[in-house]
Amino acid sequence: MKKVVIIDYGSQYTQLLARRIRELGVYSEVIQYDDNPPDEIGGIILSGGPKSVNDVDALPLPKWILNTKKPILGVCYGLQLLSKELGGKVEKTEISEYGKTEIEISNDPIFDNIPKNIITWMSHGDSVVFLPKNSSVIAKTKNNIYAAIKFSNNIYGLQFHPEVKHTEFGDKIIENFLFKIAKLEKNWSLNYFIEEKIEEIRNEINDKKAIIALSGGVDSSVATVLVHKAIGKNLKAVFVNHGLLRLNEEIEVKKIFNDLIGINLTVIDAKKRFLDKLKNIIDPEKKRKIIGEEFIRVFEEVSKNNYDYLIQGTIYSDVIESAASGKNTAKIKSHHNVGGLPEDIEFKIIEPLKYLFKDEVRKIGEILGIPKHILYRHPFPGPGLAIRIIGEITEEKLNILKKADHIFIETLKKNNWYDKVWQAFTVLTPIKTVGVVGDERNYDYVLAIRSVNSVEGMTANWSKIPFEILEEASTRITNEVKGIGRIVYDITSKPPATIEWE
């Protein structure tokens, strides 16, 4: 099977590129610049990255790449690297371009069936200022910066990111590269992924046993059913109630998996031990590390050395924010199931969904027959409400946040807005402000409401929920939840912010 090889130079969008290619029916594989080339290469993409090609430690082109004579597409850092390696010049210019940028394109097969002017997503300080020999500019920005370069009939470079949804016709540009430039065929699907992954898991685990932490969220649910199909009764599903869950979650999860899906679920009440460990902890990274380690310790106690493998529902947005996807990627924050794990683990880790995005995971869940009301729940972080309480975690704050969050979600569902947004939740801040209740002064917490629209979680826009719905949620929360005196609405997109506050 002909594949597209993506050379990872550290961009947070590298796996998003891989995903866009898979969506178009072509298998893609991400490797590092110093890896050996895989077999059956049909095309090569050079990703973006955080470095400058002029840095002393800049990552070079793989030595083998130009000798393959395969079609190449450089994106951002990839374009600048091709330019420099082929004899051009890249410099830090007075004008940097970040975010949405309009470009004007020329006639070329890579831009077939695309308007002359489109909005793209830029993220660069350096620019190509001198072209390599026999190259031509096929797109420019309004600042007269080169936005796309054709180096030869099958080597191209884009200064912008076609893989993000902010770039208009980005999928079409990738499609044109795959089918018009690289002449590839559509021969990959999520059904193929499922079959391949089940076979892979079955071969690795063989007749040994595995254990999985089932939270009731989308990712762990899909991972559980997928691995259960591979090894059946050799998988033990455990629900750890660490006390940081949504309201009544421990009751709902047990009912869903015992009754609806037929997977025997063991429930461990570990609220006290987690809260004791988190006492007086304020730093969010420390919270994640503590929760990650305590999860492992609970699992080691449950397993009693009878389980060799730990299955995790890690998905790509977790991996990239924890800088665990590649050695050149910048770290944003740890996730308890990647960057938060202790080093002394008795288990071998298997992460079957590691390079998939949330919507791909949901589609796999549908194929596996998981009920939609599980698959389309809003994402919930592994560390739970620990990272939605800013500052120290207490029983009182947990109770306040659980009730407030439940009311917000209930209000969205009542007004048919829950399914219109990708993720909605509340955050309890450590700030208290003055209010007036029944002619008396009170001094209560500020609660932040957060809601975003996204596809894969790598980028997100804040949700334009109607004011009357926000007002209804605010009124109910301040009336029904003792301890909340003020509500604010977060209108920050990702980037520059992350979706969760911590």
C-alpha to C-alpha distance for 28 and 22, rounded to whole angstroms? 6
Residue 220 marked in a binding site: yes
CA-to-CA dists, residue 247 to 25, 128, 406, 477, angstroms: 41, 54, 7, 14
- The alpha helices in 210-357, defined as continuous H runs, are 218-231, 249-255, 271-278, 284-303, 316-321
Residue 317 marked in a binding site: no
Count of other CB atoms within 10 angstroms of residue 40? 10
Residue 483 marked in a binding site: no
**DSSP label of 179:** I
- Quick check: 246 and 425 in contact, CB under 8 A? no
Count of other CB atoms within 10 angstroms of residue 32? 14
Place of tokens 């990111």: 161
| 204 in active site | no
| 166 in active site | no
Catalytic residue among 23, 76, 228, 321: 76
Catalytic residue among 124, 161, 242, 335: 161
C-alpha to C-alpha distance for 388 and 244, rounded to whole angstroms? 10
Residue 215 marked in a binding site: yes
Catalytic residue among 97, 163, 249, 502: 163
Residue 438 marked in a binding site: no
Query: Minimal CA–CA distance to 47: which of 203, 212, 161?
Result: 161
Residue 221 marked in a binding site: yes
Helix pair angle (271-278, 284-303), 10° resolution:
150
**Could you tell me how far CA 140 lies from the centroid of its own chain?**
31
Structure tokens at 421: 């947004």
| 163 in active site | yes
Question: What residues act catalytically?
Answer: 76, 161, 163
Annotated binding site for ATP: 215-221
Annotated binding site: 215-221
